[in-house]
């Protein structure tokens, strides 16, 4: 039965993705009042996160960010679905990049470039990077496998469609060391703005006015394999069009004090969230853990 459901889920998303892009955005506009006003999807979480992150803003400004987030979230849903079948020529127009030459230059002296990403703008579309990178370099991104077999199949397909490899988080270090032993220079994306489990918390930062636990795994692996680190600065130019600029964080991560690279990433992430605040994933329970009280 599970396989039948998975098959139906995959076919539904595949067929839906074949609709023309303008129709996808029309459907997103219809979806917004349903999710925001009727379903009220995680609205209490979104509202609390925004209010705590922007205490300096008026309630009207906070609500504008909230409504903007839900409009964007509906666009994200249809854009992600569209990625399954969108023509290469169209996605090249809609998702563009700068800073690729700088990353390729870094690969002259390093086996890896690690890209720090956030759940900001349409992070799924960044998986189209192999269309822009020299074919001799391998592109990959870390991901967390989904429990639902149908959704797992759909997201595996769309994230690998243009040549990127999906690496399960549990296999990250093993796979990266294998690429190193093979002499395969690689560009690997890490989405590092989730809320870590308490056992994995090694550092806390002041992020959006809040004491925030952070993942440091990307930094630890970067130091182990001497990767150059870049940050993905993404902007939404207009509806359905994004531009990503890769900015260097460090090309000598081993010389940085512990956690400094992670803190640089969080600082850069906060800057772009403040620039276009409705484009971050506010429905995520980012602050569910509290720093332990020292005795």
Number of folded domains in the chain?
A: 1
Instruction: Note the pLDDT of residue 295.
Output: 47
Could you read off the pLDDT of 257-293 as tens digits, one per residue? 999 999 999 999 999 999 999 999 999 988 887 777 6
Is 184 inside any structural domain?
Answer: yes
User: Is residue 265 one of the residues assigned to a domain?
Assistant: yes
Q: Is residue 271 in a domain? A: yes
* pLDDT < 70 regions, the chain: 1-9, 198-201, 293-295
152 located within any domain:
yes
| 284 falls within a domain | no
Which of 94-126 are b and which e, b meaning 16 or more Cβ less than 10 Å from the residue's Cβ? bbebebbebbbebbeebbbbbbbbbbbbbbbbb
Across-strand partners of 235? 243
The pLDDT assigned to 199 comes to: 62
Q: Where in the sequence is the domain holding 18, given as residue range(s)?
A: 2-279
Cβ-contact 99, 246 below 8 angstroms? yes
Residue 29 in any domain: the answer is yes
- Assess if residue 294 is contained within a domain: no
Domain-embedded: residue 11: yes
């Amino acid at each position: 039965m599970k396989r039948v459901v998975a098959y139906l889920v995959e076919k539904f998303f595949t067929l839906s993705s074949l609709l023309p892009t303008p129709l996808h955005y029309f459907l997103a506009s219809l979806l917004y009042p349903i999710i925001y006003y009727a379903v009220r999807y995680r609205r209490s979480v979104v509202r609390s996160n925004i209010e705590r992150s922007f205490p300096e803003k008026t309630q009207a400004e906070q609500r504008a960010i909230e409504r903007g987030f839900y409009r964007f979230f509906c666009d994200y849903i249809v854009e992600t679905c569209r990625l399954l079948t969108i023509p290469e020529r169209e996605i090249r127009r809609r998702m563009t990049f700068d800073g690729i030459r700088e990353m390729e230059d870094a690969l002259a002296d390093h086996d890896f470039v690690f890209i720090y990403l956030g759940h900001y703008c349409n992070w799924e579309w960044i998986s189209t990077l192999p269309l822009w990178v020299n074919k001799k370099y391998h592109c990959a991104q870390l991901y967390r496998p989904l429990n639902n077999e149908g959704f797992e199949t759909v997201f595996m397909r769309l994230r690998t469609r243009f040549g990127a490899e999906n690496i399960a988080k549990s296999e990250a270090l093993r796979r990266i060391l294998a690429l190193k032993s093979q002499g395969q220079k690689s560009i690997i994306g890490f989405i590092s703005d989730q809320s870590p489990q308490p056992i994995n918390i090694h550092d806390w930062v002041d992020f959006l006015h809040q004491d925030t636990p952070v993942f440091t795994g990307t930094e630890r692996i970067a130091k182990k394999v001497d990767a150059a680190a870049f940050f993905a600065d993404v902007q939404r130019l207009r509806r359905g069009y994004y531009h990503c600029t890769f900015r260097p964080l460090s090309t000598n991560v081993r010389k940085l004090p512990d956690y400094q690279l992670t803190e640089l990433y969080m600082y850069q992430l906060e800057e772009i969230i403040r620039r276009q605040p409705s484009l971050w994933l506010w429905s995520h329970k980012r602050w569910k853990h509290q720093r332990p009280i020292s005795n």
